[in-house]
Structure 1
Amino acid sequence: ELYKGVEKEKVDEFVDVLEQVCVQRKLALCDVFDQVTRAGDSMLHMAVRLGKEKIVELISRHFPKLLIRRNVRGDTPLHVAVRFKHCGIVKLILSQYGTEKAKHDGMKDITREKNEHGDTPLHEAVNSKDFGVVKVIFDADKDVVHCLNKSKRSPLFLAVVNGNKDILNLLLKIPFPADKRLPQHFGNSPLHAAILERNPGISSLHQIIFFPR
């Protein structure tokens, strides 16, 4: 019943369901929001997955700790929003978390949270192949471009493999660190990957690496 409430189209209907659950189960509202599914999804995860932007806004504003709550796969709500290409919700989560981060010292950058595969939200965004979502995450934290997951793949490497030239050109705006070797995936750098994939973005990648401005 509780998670069916998340499916409601209107916020008022969602709030009505919450009130009913609190009364019937004699639970405080905070205890209701601490409940998760077998997959470890909080109500915020569910609302994000379903694209319920108004409900996401309501939950994240009143229970901001859920913004970094992980499910059994290690996904935060931001990972889920990116994976399902909900660009408006991605912006909302980043904005709400930014507000909370400004209030409290020591909070991590939500854009650098990793799931069980070591994927950041930018990894997920590149895999979604949605340029709009990628750009939102990229603009929020450009330095994640070269961050490696557990498979030693960076978002840039994934962009090469996926063959999305627009995404690749966006990520190439961040230069490779001059004092570090190119990140390797089983011996292959992004340039090697481009060659193996016969990727049309290879000329841009070659130019950036060997002839930086």
Structure 2
Amino acid sequence: MKCSQNGYAHAHLYYPSGPNGQTALHAAVFQQNLAEKLLRWEPKLAKHADISGSTPLHYAASAGNGRMVKLLLKHDTSLAYIADSGGLFPVHVAAITGEVSIVDELIKHCPYSDELVDNEERNLLHIVVKHKNKPIVWYVCKRPELVKLMNGRDYQGNTPLHLAVKIGDQGIVSLLMQNKTVNSSIINKEGLTPLDISTGALASPRRVDHFRRDYKQTDLDEEAKKHLYINRSSAISSVLIATVTFAAAFTLPGGYKADGTPTLAGRYTFKAFIIADALAFIFSMLSTFWITFGGSVLVQPRLRSYYVVCSNTLLVLETRCMIAAFALCIYLVLAPVSNSIGIVVCVTTSASILLDTPDKIQICRLAITIKSRELVELESKSQHRKFYVGEDAT
């Protein structure tokens, strides 16, 4: 539902105004008693907009002032249908700032306010997805009466799921996918589904010549410029890990015997420690070499990008190996004293590897959500098949 923008943009010509075209009512958003007096004195102040097109209701909604929002809506519910210069209505402003109670208040008392769209034809769900506001996304997904927003399309044909995939927020993608009404097969004006955007593939029906015309190969020289200034912290991390693992090889847990051999050399855990430490050292040295080549202007642009990607991959591997070596070392030292404590420390330390990238939790949630949707769809298809087979039998 698209409404015209604020028709009171020039109202400040008729009322005394302060900075940026604001009136006393804009300033009285946090003073309800004063606001009530101003509304009784001049009711039209409620529709007066500042230079950004914002009415007092916009201010109250963004500030989360529920009492002021109720006061203004009681005065005139049509205030909820006035957009600012950017096409944002009060319900959009409240959603952007995460004011769930205000959004709920506006939707309850202002019919169709949930269907209002901005200048880019984006509805409430589009806007909160764009601003990564998960509480409002959760609120919308859990309200059955807001199901009409799930597959809404903006001026580019993108649904909220398209936008969530574009911004790369796996938590919001998971929330949307949990809603069974979300259609993941909708094609935008570029001919892409959310899956196409996430994979970079061309899964939708499209002519190959059109695809080649619209998606040219990225200029390698421009792409290479991004890697000229490499991440120095990555290089420092690799060098530090190499130093630590090198030192650990000569300060073995348990010490040495009189003949100079390691005291714990016969244990399987000791052998695993040596392997993990050696791998961490090797990976850290390779990562240091490759990240150095990745930042060198003497190396071909194509290879610079390759070296940087490889060095970052090795940085993750060397960190995991170092964590494993630390856990094994702790177990070797504590096992003779308390085997149970050694196991607990070893397991908990090793478990930290699962959290080395925060996205893993979101990926697991998203995978579970997608799998559950597939099972529901398969069950639905099976029930339909049984129904039609039963009809044929009769």
Q: TM-score range by the shorter chain?
A: 0.5 to 0.7
Structure 1, unpaired ranges of 5+ = 1-32, 99-108
Q: SS of the residue aligned with 2:112?
A: helix
Aligned to 1:64: 43
Aligned to 1:203: 177
Aligned to 1:163: 134
Higher mean C-alpha displacement, 191-200 vs 33-42: 191-200
**Cα distance per residue 1:87-146 (max 9 Å; x no partner):** 110011001125xxxxxxxxxx22110000000111101011011111111112242223
- Equivalent of 1:139 in 90, 96, 108: 108
Q: Indicate if the aligned counterparts of 2:100 and 2:139 stay in contact, CA closer than 8 A.
A: yes
| Aligned counterparts of 2:87 and 2:62: Cα–Cα separation in 1 | 15
Higher helix share: 2
Residue 124 of structure 2 is aligned to residue 150 of structure 1: no
Q: Indicate if the aligned counterparts of 2:95 and 2:103 stay in contact, CA closer than 8 A.
A: yes
- Equivalent of 1:84 in 43, 53, 63: 63
Q: SS of the residue aligned with 1:74?
A: coil
* Counterpart mapping for 1:104-119 below 5 A: 109-119=78-88
Q: Indicate if the aligned counterparts of 1:146 and 1:183 stay in contact, CA closer than 8 A.
A: no
Q: Indicate if the aligned counterparts of 2:147 and 2:181 stay in contact, CA closer than 8 A.
A: yes
Name the % identity.
Answer: 21
Per the normalisation by structure 1, the TM-score is: 0.68
Per the normalisation by structure 2, the TM-score is: 0.38
Structure 2, unpaired ranges of 5+ = 1-13, 184-375, 377-394
Displacement after TM superposition at 1:172 (Å): 5.5
| Aligned counterparts of 1:40 and 1:185: Cα–Cα separation in 2 | 31
Q: Indicate if the aligned counterparts of 1:134 and 1:167 stay in contact, CA closer than 8 A.
A: no
**Cα distance per residue 1:148-186 (max 9 Å; x no partner):** 211332211123342224432356522328xxx732254
Structure label with greater radius of gyration: 2
Higher mean C-alpha displacement, 183-192 vs 73-82: 183-192
Residue 146 of structure 2 is aligned to residue 174 of structure 1: yes
Q: CA RMSD in A?
A: 2.4
Q: SS of the residue aligned with 1:201?
A: helix
Residue 165 of structure 2 is aligned to residue 184 of structure 1: no
Aligned to 1:12: none
| Aligned counterparts of 1:151 and 1:171: Cα–Cα separation in 2 | 24
Of structures 1 and 2, the one scoring higher in RCO (CA 8 A, sep 6+) is: 1
Q: Indicate if the aligned counterparts of 1:176 and 1:182 stay in contact, CA closer than 8 A.
A: yes
